[in-house]
Structure 1
Amino acid sequence: MSKNLFQRGAVAAGAAFLAVTVFGGVAHADPGVAYIKPSQHSQAVSCVQQGLRDAGYNIDVDGKYGDATYKALTDFQSNRGLQADGIVGPKTGDRLYYDYLAKSQNVVQIEACGYLIPTTR
């Protein structure tokens, strides 16, 4: 009986954690999330592109980090006092994710990008 109660408690705790993570907006990248750089092709690049679109840049969200993404990202970085190097590290990731993507009301985007973009939190 106590084993059954323990299992129920563990399941309830796991469900509570999942609910807080999904619905509480506390998703964040793991410390080991790779920086996003030119010439990459990935879902993480799509997240960067979507963040840039949310910030007002007119670029395609195709997951390919090419010239248009580089130009938009370096402009984004420059206009926000960040190092305009075209690399999404934690500081740029914070601005893209917390200032734009997390405020989008798109739960799928918030969750997926929250684990793909490097951030300081």
Structure 2
Amino acid sequence: MLSNLFKRGAVTAGAACLAVAALGGVAHADPGVPYIKPSQRGDAVACVQMGLRDAGYNIDVDGKYGTATYTALTDFQANRSLQPDGIVGPRTGDRLYFDYLAKSGNVTQSELCATLIPTTR
């Protein structure tokens, strides 16, 4: 009787953990996601640009990391006590993703960018 109770409890606990993991939400960048730097192109740069736009910067989302992106990003970093180096590493990625992209209400944007922006979580 006691062993059956423990088995049921373990199964229930396991199911609860799976449910929380499945519903827990936001996908995160895989370990080793490369930093985003000047002169790059692609979806990761577009995610940075969308985050900057969501943060109030008037910037085009074209996927090209040029002067406008650098200027906006270094200003974003300086205003948030981050090193204004124009590189999106995990600390800058946390601020862009969790403070803006994840809260944007755009599910496609937040899910795609979660896999492309380096974060600490």
TM-score band (shorter)?
0.7 to 0.9
Give the 5 Å matches for 1:1-121: 20=22, 24-121=24-121
One-letter amino acid matched to 1:117? I
Counterpart Cα distance in 2 of 1:54 and 1:26: 18
Q: Which residue of 2 aligns with 1:4?
A: none
Which runs of 5 or more structure 1 residues have no equivalent in the other structure?
A: 1-12
CA distance in 2, matches of 1:107, 1:118: 18
| Equivalent residue letter for 2:42 | S
Question: Residue 89 of structure 1 contacts residue 118 of structure 1 at CA under 8 Å; is this kept in 2?
Answer: yes
Relative to the length of structure 2, the TM-score reads: 0.81
Q: Which string of whole-angstrom CA distances, capped at 9 and with x for unpartnered residues, describes residues 46-101 of structure 1? A: 00000000000000000000000000000000000000000000000000000000
| Alignment partners' CA distance in 1, 2:25 and 2:69 | 26
Q: CA RMSD in A?
A: 1.7
The TM-score, its normalising length taken from structure 1, stands at: 0.81
Aligned length: 104
CA distance in 1, matches of 2:29, 2:90: 9
Distance in structure 2 (CA, Å) of the matches to 1:24 and 1:63: 29
Identity between Structure 1 and Structure 2 (%): 78
